[in-house]
Amino acid sequence: MTFNSSVDSNDSPPESAKRPKDFKPSRYMRARRPYLFSDTVTTTERTVTREVFSHHLETLTNQKDETKFEDFAQGLAEKFISPNLRPQTGPVGGGDGKTDSETYPVTAEVASRWYVPDLAGAHERWAFAFSAKKDWRGKVRSDVASIAGTGRGYPRIYFITNQFVPAKDSVSVQDKLLAKHKIPVTILDRTWLLERVFDHDSLDIAIDTLGVGAGTEREVQKQGTEDFRRTNELEALQKAIGDGTEYNGTTVALAEDCLKAALLARGIERPRHEVEGLFQRAIRIARDNNLESHLLTATYNLAWTSFFWFDDFAALTALYDQVELLALPSDTAEDLERLSNLLPLLRNCVAFGTLPAEATKLETRAKRLFKALDRVRADTSRPNNALHAHALSLLTR
């Protein structure tokens, strides 16, 4: 079993893609093969308790944040009532007692994709009034009277307030307004606002519109599903490798698991010293047990990792010598393919100016590779292997 985490030789960055100072192999590989990298996401979170947020709503008027409250109320209304709201601005805005927002017509095709419970707002003209005044009774009566007086034929009115409104008072006021203006009115108070924010995952709206939680920012990592799998597998491997009773007489399995652990740590994007330490362990285990194929694979993957994960050009050219020492004597084209994958990377280092030409020894290294490929190609007793060597020679040239 062989672990080859490399990509095809045509995955080397194009020589004219970026300016030298922008040459980042890790950025290129992450864009080309994102599944080889960590899928853990780091986000910034704010900590806001229900009690603190409730107090913030209660003191909005003192803070002169009435306009921010309108934005907040509209954000929740768009998410939970009807997404097709437009704010009223200018001379017809909420400042003169008319609507603070209202729905506008949308096609049935668009409305069918909404996830709100009532789609009637797609073709009906609903009115919305938002208020941060303490006297919510007087405010709802005046707002509903003004909205009804426009003669626009609103079939429904929503009144959203930052005040606590007892259920019996809310029902009583709604019934009286319906009897007087013949328009159903729904009063949504602070209890509804708190439920939407904390029980229905809408804290982001409160943060964006009201700015709550300032000073409580903290970075939080959300582990990706692939990293979760890799972490569990790595922990299991580390436990097995560290257990002296495991791998008795099966050094090949030990070498393979050591390399697999290094590749898993690389995928999780553990610190460089940890990743390189795990690769060095895999190399040491393979060398101590004379596992030449495993030694070549582990050394090659360390070279590949140094370039495409850590942007270390000097390490690449140093490790190339080690890979070459192991691969050149081989009569297997697959082993020589390791060198044909690494050589174009050195060529790009010269093209981008990240390594001097003399440090890469391109000409002499290429000659040695061609000589080895010609030798393998000449062995017609293994036609597939010979053809592979011939193809590698053409691609490298």
CA distance 190 to 76: 12
Q: What is the CATH number of domain 9-40+224-396?
A: 1.25.40
Q: Which of 293, 226, 296 is nearest to 266 (CA)?
A: 226
Average pLDDT over residues 260-270: 97
pLDDT of 12 reads 54
Q: List pLDDT tens digits, range 310-353.
A: 999 999 999 999 999 999 999 999 999 999 999 999 999 999 99
φ, ψ for residue 88, nearest 5 deg = -95, 125
Q: Which of 291, 295, 364, 354 is nearest to 323 (CA)?
A: 295
Please say if the pLDDT value at position 93 is more than 70.
no
Say which CATH class 50-210 falls into.
alpha beta
CA distance 179 to 176: 5
Q: Which of 14, 2, 6 is nearest to 341 (CA)?
A: 6
Q: Which of 2, 1, 93, 7 is nearest to 305 (CA)?
A: 7
Strand partners, 202: none
Domain ranges for the chain: 9-40+224-396, 50-210
Q: Which of 146, 50, 33 is nearest to 96 (CA)?
A: 146
Task: Give the pairing of strands 157-161 and 185-188.
Answer: parallel
pLDDT of 116 reads 85
Q: List pLDDT tens digits, range 150-187.
A: 999 999 999 999 999 999 999 999 999 999 999 999 99
Determine the 3-state secondary structure of 2 from DSSP: coil
CA distance 362 to 343: 8
Q: Which of 113, 131, 147, 102 is nearest to 193 (CA)?
A: 131
